[in-house]
Every structure is written in structure tokens, then in C-alpha cells.
Amino acid sequence: MKKLIAKTPILWGGRQYAPGDPLPTSDAEILELWLKYGSATWDGHVDTTDATGSPAVPQTSGLPVPNPEPGVDKPAAGRRASQKRAQQ
């Protein structure tokens, strides 16, 4: 039996599917859209390249990015920079 496999992260039916995860096939309309727009494929062929053949850019996790400049502090959450300077 063929399996429908996620090629990109998909949130569907209250569940997050990662690339490579099998997807539900009970909704024919959404299944067609996933295939049409390249979000899923049949039988586990997961393409890790974009349309140009370059490696696909991974999705971000939504976590904050570390400060790229060591030694440069960012203001604490909920405080203005001027308040932070005044306390120093």
C-alpha cells in the first residue's frame, strides 16, 4: 500500500508532521493540495532540494537566535535600554 509522506513541516488536524512522516489520506481535497504544492509525495521519496536543485533551507524552530555579537548585551525583556543603563 502506498504511503503519503510529508516533504515539508505540515500542521494538520491538530498535529505537527515533520518531513518524512506519513500523512493521513482520509481527506481527498487536502491530499490533492499537498501533492499539487509539493508539500507531500507518495512512497517516501523526500526531495531535499528546492526547485533550483540547491539544498532546501531548513525551517526555523521559532526559538530566539543567539546574539551574534559577543560582548554586546541586549536589553532584558520588559525593560527599556535606558532603564537598564540607569541601573548600571
Tell me, rounded to whole angstroms, the distance of Cα 40 from its chain centroid.
14
Q: What is the pLDDT of residues 57-72, one digit of tens each?
A: 555 555 555 555 555 5
Backbone angles phi, psi at 36, to 5 degrees: -60, -40
Note the pLDDT of residue 43: 79
Note the pLDDT of residue 74: 55
Note the pLDDT of residue 6: 94
Is the pLDDT at 10 greater than 70? The verdict is yes
Is the pLDDT at 51 greater than 90? The verdict is no
- pTM of the full structure: 0.49
Residues in the chain: 88
Q: Grid coordinates representing 59?
A: 525551517
Is the pLDDT at 22 greater than 60? The verdict is yes
